[in-house]
A = this chain, B = another copy of it.
Amino acid sequence: MIQSLCASRAAELLMQRDNITLLCHRRPDGDTVGSAFALYYALRQLGKEVRVLCADPLPQQYRYLYGPDYTPSRVLDWPVEYVVAVDVASAELLGELEPKYGRMVDLCIDHHPSNTDYAALTCLDGEAAACAELVAAILTAVGLPLTGKIAECIYTGLVTDTGGFRFSNTTANSMRLAADIMESGVDTAAINTRIFESKSKARVLAEARLLSALQFYAENRIAVMPITLAVRAETGVTMEELEDMAGIPRRIEGVLVGVTIKEHENECRISLRTRDCVNASEIAAVFGGGGHRCAAGCTIRASVEEATRLLIAEIQKHLPEETV
């Protein structure tokens, strides 16, 4: 059990420090960048020196939060005085920043119940839908109003981690925080459009190809979507643009297990999404992977056809008895 600081204690610590390095997790998403930049702008407003670091490039999609010119500056000569990780559940998730920063995180602000307690101090709220909710509580404790750029950052974290307030992690608190941000004058509808209503032509054409190639097994209870190297080459779609495709096969009525198979040079990376009656992590574990009950993943060193064959054989053992 992690000894968690409350938001107001975390706020006090941040107020006392300067030259603050904020760390995002690798393969950054809207919540880690939203949380980091909300703190970045807030602490800058208080006159502090702050920088944001991430092992991987920050997504184009959230560029409105950090501007086209943002580059993690002064990486080499920056005084490492106070290190804060946001939305980073374990040191490993720092990616290439782990060797340097993994053991020197002073404060971790997080919402993952699985947090490994790797930081000197941790401010954890396992009930929060997004880390941004906790950051909002910290900024409120500092006495900063949630407005302008800071509010845009918080909203972005909130809306992405809740899947647009649709996922079951969404709470009444998430909704009320969004309400407050709307009232502060942020154009939340414009952010929603950027995040949910905007797809590249390449992505749309790739989606058409992938949907046409859906395969169904076990009386339509299993749907498999192969994302082959060929489709990626032909449509020019990037892996980043395909990030959220894994949810698609399970969305089809009657499908209990949705499988996405991403072909790479020497292996296939598998995403499993299941309805509650089938345990995805048990299936993934058979292939050396893991995850949650309804979302898990694994890697299979085989062709797409062979991986499909192996997966279908295994998944069929996990399907419930058919009701007559």
A80 CB to closest chain B CB, in angstroms? 39
A299 CB to closest chain B CB, in angstroms? 26
User: How far is B113's CA from A62's CA once the two chains are assembled, in angstroms?
Assistant: 35
Given contacts A252-B200, A252-B201, contact A168 B189 (CB under 8 A): yes
**Which residues 117-140 of A sit at the B interface, judged by CB distance below 8 A?**
none
Copies in the complex: 2
B179 touches A175 (CB 8 A): yes
Per-residue CB contact flags for chain A residues 55-93 toward chain B (1 = under 8 Å, else 0) read: 000000000000000000000000000000000000000
User: Is A216 located at the chain interface by the 8 A CB criterion?
Assistant: yes
How many residues from A make CB contacts under 8 Å with B? 43
Per-residue CB contact flags for chain A residues 153-195 toward chain B (1 = under 8 Å, else 0) read: 0000000000011111011110110111011000011001100
Contact of A172 among B182, B192, B210 (CB under 8 A): B182
User: How far is B210's CA from A155's CA once the two chains are assembled, in angstroms?
Assistant: 33
A42 CB to closest chain B CB, in angstroms? 22
User: Is A207 located at the chain interface by the 8 A CB criterion?
Assistant: yes
**Which residues 203-239 of A sit at the B interface, judged by CB distance below 8 A?**
204-205, 207-212, 214, 216, 220
Identify whether the interface residues of A are mostly helix, strand, loop, or mixed.
helix
B198 touches A251 (CB 8 A): yes
A221 CB to closest chain B CB, in angstroms? 11
User: Is A305 located at the chain interface by the 8 A CB criterion?
Assistant: no
User: Is A199 located at the chain interface by the 8 A CB criterion?
Assistant: yes
B166 touches A172 (CB 8 A): no
A187's closest neighbor in chain B, by CB? B168
User: Is A265 located at the chain interface by the 8 A CB criterion?
Assistant: no
User: Is A148 located at the chain interface by the 8 A CB criterion?
Assistant: no
A183 touches B172 (CB 8 A): yes
Q: List 9 A-B contacts (CB under 8 A).
A: A167-B192, A171-B182, A175-B176, A198-B253, A201-B254, A205-B212, A208-B210, A208-B214, A209-B212
Enumerate the 7 nearest inter-chain pairs by beta-carbon distance, A residue then B residue, closest first: A208-B211, A168-B189, A175-B179, A172-B179, A208-B212, A166-B192, A172-B182
